[in-house]
Amino acid sequence: MATLGAMHGRGRALLTLVVVLPSVAACVTRGTPPPNTATAVPAAAGAGGLACGRNDNDLFAPSLVPHDAYASRNGVMAARFSQLTTSMERPLEECGLRTVLQRLIALTCDDGSNPFRSDMRAAHASRRGSQGPGGRCEQIIDVYAVTCPEKTYEVYADMYFCTEGVQSQFG
């Protein structure tokens, strides 16, 4: 079982991850493997009642959302950073780190420039850290600082927002 706790104070986040594993000693003395307790929860409701199916035993597993929710995910229609409004509660929703980075290099500043110049490593370097659980499926949210001529944007991103067939892009 994995649990995650986040404490916020004075603009900083403290993230604590606790992992409890089944007893290996019990397995060895009985000569049988521990039961597989990984279960997908297809009907677990996230914020706003969205069905967010994911393996509760894997904190970093993607949430599988219905196709219509994925098609209308936050940020999908934005062409410029100024058109993208993100927060812990409403992050950019994409499936996988690569897809988040691709969106960051595809979006432009108001003058048409992109601060990353199509360099995914530069986009990844703008990551300011993990902010803890948030978004519609209460997944881990990362924040990126994107400096444009008009202003610096904080882009909150949920890279665990997936649907069937798109989850292969995860990772």
pLDDT above 80 (res 38): no
Half-sphere exposure of 115 (CA within 13 A, CB side): 21
Q: How far is CA 88 from the centre of its chain?
A: 11
Q: How far apart are CA 69 and CA 25, in angstroms?
A: 44
pLDDT in tens, 66-93: 999 999 999 999 999 999 999 999 999 9
With bands split at pLDDT 50, 70 and 90, how would you rate the model's confidence at 19? very low
The pLDDT assigned to 58 comes to 74
The pLDDT assigned to 111 comes to 98
Percent of the chain with pLDDT over 90: 57
- Give the chain's mean pLDDT: 76
The pLDDT assigned to 170 comes to 52
Write out the H or E segment, with its range, that includes residue 27. Answer: helix 24-30
The pLDDT assigned to 46 comes to 52
pLDDT in tens, 92-146: 999 999 999 999 999 999 999 999 999 999 999 999 999 999 999 999 999 999 9
Beta-carbon count within 10 A of 136 CB: 23
Question: Which two tokens mark 144?
Answer: 């990126």
49: alpha, beta or left? (left if phi > 0; alpha if psi -120 to 50) = left
